[in-house]
A = this chain, B = another copy of it.
Amino acid sequence: MRVGELSQRTGASVRSLRYYEERGLIEADRSTSGQRQYDAAVVDRVLLIRQLLTAGLGTAAIVDVLPCMAEPASQTSLLTARLVAERDRLTDEIAQRVATRDALEQIIGAAPPLQG
């Protein structure tokens, strides 16, 4: 498929897809005229990339993490360190957000009685 279709199937903008390629997250064959041609498997890969981005990972981290998710055997001790670092960062962010959400929750619960 071409980039427009991949965009529709993944929700990523065409711009973003080209950016992912630039960062080494995805690859594409090229037609003789230079247009990108994507393998069907790329759809899931992009969806995964988007999940990781949404979770706050950067493209540099994703470049390291993705191969480990596709092929566990590719995990070296260096990559494991990276995985652990990202996991720990997520754990911290989760704790921070849970604490803040609870604080907001409490304020919401203590809302003054409605006036009208």
Contacts and interface: CB of A to CB of B under 8 A. Distances in A.
A90 B101 contact: yes
Interface string A17-38: 0000000000000000000000
A51 B96 contact: yes
Contacts of A111: 72, 75, 80
Interface string A30-69: 0000000000000000000001101111000000010011
Nearest to A114: B77
A107 B67 CA distance: 11
Interface string A88-109: 0011011011111101110110
B80 A104 contact: no
Contact of A72 (B72, B101, B112, B115): B112
B56 A104 contact: no
Q: 8 smallest A-B Cβ distances: which pairs? A: A55-B100, A90-B101, A87-B104, A72-B110, A90-B97, A94-B97, A83-B108, A55-B97
